[in-house]
Amino acid sequence: MAGITIQTSNLDQIQRKFAEYAAYNQRDVEMLAVDQSRKLATDLYVETAKIAPTKARIRADLNKTVTAKDWYWAKNDTHQTKLLWAITAKWAKKKGMTGKISGYFSPWFWNQIMHNMAERIWISRKNAILYLASGWLGAVKDLGGTLKKTSGKVKTQRGGATIRRGNGVVEVTMWNNTPGIETQQAKHDFVGKAIDRRIADMQVYIYRKQQEMVAALSK
């Protein structure tokens, strides 16, 4: 299956920074490794989410494509429009209208149908705005993270993580199999950005501990 698979043990930059981080942290290394992997999965979600179109962008794109000249298309194309057409026909029949319905309504009426359809498309696209990013939620959950109720049900076939321990080494593998994820990675490199984000976060902790040590020595 196409997708992205990441093994933390293969991420040399993170491993080097993690070794330094663990030395300053002085907690169980295996626990720290899983904790940092979970944070990386969260970083992957955040960075992937950044490439999603904004709600305003979705609205603007719809406004460009759904215009007054589209009324004829609205009457004759797509399953959703056919459904609207059927509802309209039923309404016209109840009103006692006969013959072709198109004879009773102006282009303005069909523009209203187009508007309603655009709203349905808007809602559908808005709900799917984080579709690619949500594939990382399975990994966050598998690595012990807590998800928001608004995250919805995590589909394990789209993403997850495994932990393998042995000989003092922890190997975490996480994946996102959401269709299209590898294409968007090639365009935006959100994996690289997430790795940079995780390294920077560990560096902040290291710097703080170094400052604490300097302060302690100066007393």
**E-strand spans in 1-157?**
4-7
Tokens representing 204 are 């902040």
Single out the residue of 48, 3, 40 nearest to residue 142, CA to CA. Answer: 40
pLDDT in tens, 50-107: 987 777 776 676 666 655 444 444 445 555 556 556 666 666 666 666 555 555 455 5
Q: pLDDT confidence of 165, banded at 50, 70, 90?
A: confident
> Residue 8: CB partners within 8 Å, gap ≥ 6?
14, 15, 33, 36, 37, 40, 171, 172, 173, 174
Mean pLDDT along residues 155-161:
87
Q: How much is the mean pLDDT over the chain?
A: 79
When mean pLDDT is compared across 93-102, 116-125, 139-148, the lowest value belongs to 93-102
Where is pLDDT greater, at 180 or 121? 180
This prediction has a pTM of: 0.71
Provide the residue type at 120 as one letter: R
How far is 22 from 169, CA to CA, in rounded Å? 13
How far is 133 from 123, CA to CA, in rounded Å? 18
Region of 144 please: left (phi>0), alpha (psi -120 to 50) or beta: left
Where is pLDDT greater, at 120 or 177? 177
CB 2 within 8 Å of CB 179: yes
% of residues, the chain, pLDDT over 90: 43
How far is 113 from 121, CA to CA, in rounded Å? 12
CB 129 within 8 Å of CB 53: yes
Identify the pLDDT of residue 192: 96
Q: For every residue of 183-201, which 3-state class applies, written as one string?
A: HHHHHHCHHHHHHHHHHHH
Single out the residue of 11, 48, 32, 23 nearest to residue 183, CA to CA. Answer: 48
